[in-house]
Amino acid sequence: MKIDSNNEKKQDHRVVILQIIFIALFVLYTGRLFAMQIINGDHYRVRADEITKRTSVIPAARGEIYTSDFTTPIVYNTDSFAVRISPAEIKRSDIPIVLSRLADLLQIPLEQIERKLPPQYQNLYQPLEIASNIPYKTIALLAERADTLPGVSWQSKPVRNYSDTGSLSHVIGYVGDITRDELTTLYNKSYQQGNVIGKAGIEKQYDEMLRGKDGAETQVVDVQGKLDMERGVQRQSPENGKNLVLTIDKDIQQLSEKALGERIGAVVVLRPATGEILALVSYPWYNPGIFTGNDSGSEYQHLLNDTKKPLLNRAIQSHYPPGSTFKVVMTTGVLSENAFSADKRIECPGEISYGERLWHCHIKKPGHGRLNLRGALAQSCDIYFWVLGRDYLGVENIINYSRDYGFGELTGIDVPGEIPGLIPTPQWKERKSHEKWVAGDTMNMSIGQGYTLVTPLQMANMIAMVANDGIIYKPYLLKEVRSPLDGSVEKSTKREVLHESEVDTEVFETVRSNMRAVISEGTAQFPLNVVKSTVIAGKTGTSEVGLADRWHSWFAAFAPYETDNPDERVVVSIIVEAANPWEWWAPYASAIIFQGIFAHQSYEESVAALHFQYLMPAQNRRD
């Protein structure tokens, strides 16, 4: 009996424990339900709503780009469509079939779609853009076959259109789909997969202004993915990008483009009193519109493989030996340092012996005779400047005055990709080639040969500094930012001093006078002296590149030579590469540009006024 009593007590104890467990579970469950429905009810209702909402981006239209007259945009947007896929809405086994059908209808490679839809994205309900710039007739075909294309949708998406930009392609640049690497870098700036982003030029430099702010469209769907008609669609309108007005004068740009012609090289036209770029030409150029197509990858590869390098903006991304244009630096240095009297003469016999070699004056092999500084610059006498640099000015002074002119440093122009060029030093040479700097290096540097390298824009700044009595203003391309709604000016670029020289203004006055002599009595007497619309001062230059029959052809100048209104002055800097057949073309192109600017003539009218219609390529080298 005692044993039975103990068993009954144990069973009663177990029952009590089970009851306590059940009661505790009930209390916990009830409490959890109370918390979910009462205390946190709003939170879970919001989450439920979010789960049933599908949000798609409404792309903002990129801002338009204008030349300085702000009349017709050179870059604008046209209506087009983008095709999207929501991968999770397609059965996993049907994905290859749907993508194959889509590739056929869109007439794009299947691999291109598959690259934009990797396996890790196949559970996403968020629509992914797989093709853009799709015409309406193709969208109509998609709509007709919608029942065989689950998960496929489309939306209106403005596409970039470039209006006969020609040589402006390097200024404007182009756009393309954002890459994964770019997205990683720019994610914190609200960039997303599928965004179009500037890749070069103004499109890249001012992308955040141009891109605007995307809108959004939110739909509420049921468990089957159908639209909830009662709750409708919520829409947040996009904000279009800002419109940009450039400093480029379209007439001067076209004039410069035609004056350079189909010659590999570059032209820079700027206003020295402000730093505004009036024209910037680099040949060859490309059509930025090719990057808006779905086959942009192959087009880009084609441009990369082109040996003429059309993607290269030679005005700021190529550097060249400055040749005899560098003698402007030498003239400034010797006058400022009083290293050698400007009136004292040096004999040019046509060649001199130094360092176990003969140094020939390439301009006039019989020799120029006795020349002072003005005559040496006008006639571009190599021997005069070899002696001047080696025996009187010295390498350190040459380096200092080169840097004073901005050589070897970035100008800060507002387009990406600028390079600084090179001003060599004895220390640089020793690090580079483990060789000592010798007097022969100084002689080479004195006539713009050897290791010295400058860009056409830096050359334009050199001339601007002479014209401005020692001030260089930072060159720029963006003139104004305007509202996309009413065109009102929201921001204007103000001129900014890039560098101010400590050289006396009297020195620059003498340099200008000597540069005028280059035109009136020196190497550029023809063709520049035939320009009657203005008075020009400048410097010719040819730089050796190791070829026996051709050289780079330089000309850099400003006009008018004398003026009471500095704002009317214009600087022209031109390089024609030795890759072209030799014709000493830079001075001729400059004559056409100056004539056109100051006579308000087109290229054809300028050529006729200068009687260049029947001009034949020059056969003899001139400097």
Tens of pLDDT, residues 125-184: 778 888 888 888 888 888 888 888 888 888 877 888 998 889 999 999 999 888 889 988
Band of the pLDDT at 296, cuts 50, 70, 90? low
Res 619: pLDDT: 41
**C-alpha distances out from residue 390 to 232, 333, 442, Å:** 83, 13, 6
What confidence tens digit (pLDDT) does each residue in 323-355 have?
999 999 999 999 999 999 999 999 999 999 998
Closest of 499, 514, 454 to residue 332, by C-alpha? 514
Res 31: pLDDT: 64
- 3-class DSSP state for residue 612? coil
Band of the pLDDT at 5, cuts 50, 70, 90? low
Band of the pLDDT at 621, cuts 50, 70, 90? very low
Q: Residue 89, exposed/middle/buried by CB under 10 A (0-12, 13-18, 19+)?
A: middle
* CA pair distance 23, 19, nearest whole angstrom: 6
Whether the Cβ atoms of residue 456 and residue 281 lie closer than 8 Å to each other = no
Res 90: pLDDT: 85
- Residue percentage of the chain with pLDDT more than 70: 89
Whether the Cβ atoms of residue 446 and residue 243 lie closer than 8 Å to each other = no
What confidence tens digit (pLDDT) does each residue in 425-462 have?
999 999 999 999 999 999 999 999 999 999 999 999 99
Res 616: pLDDT: 47
Q: What's this model's pTM, rounded to 2 decimal places?
A: 0.85
Beta-strand ranges (E) seen in 22-178 are 53-58, 65-66, 75-78, 81-85, 128-134, 152-156, 159-162, 175-177
User: Minimum mean pLDDT among 49-63, 243-257, 441-455: which range?
Assistant: 49-63
Q: Which residue did the predictor score with more confidence, 47 or 160?
A: 160
Question: Tokens 């040749």 — which residue?
Answer: 323
Q: Is it the case that residue 50 has pLDDT exceeding 50? A: no
Q: Find all residues with CB under 8 Å of 554, minimum gap 6, and list them.
A: 320, 322, 323, 324, 325, 459, 539, 540, 541, 542, 543, 574, 575, 586
Res 420: pLDDT: 98
Res 618: pLDDT: 45
What confidence tens digit (pLDDT) does each residue in 404-414 have?
999 999 999 99
Beta-strand ranges (E) seen in 187-258 are 196-198, 215-220, 233-236, 243-246
What confidence tens digit (pLDDT) does each residue in 471-495 have?
999 999 999 999 999 999 999 999 9
- 3-class DSSP state for residue 153? strand
Band of the pLDDT at 33, cuts 50, 70, 90? low
Whether the Cβ atoms of residue 528 and residue 519 lie closer than 8 Å to each other = yes
Closest of 178, 197, 151, 159 to residue 54, by C-alpha? 151
Which backbone phi and psi does 133 adopt, to 5 degrees?
A: 55, 45
* CA pair distance 498, 457, nearest whole angstrom: 13
Band of the pLDDT at 234, cuts 50, 70, 90? confident
Res 215: pLDDT: 84
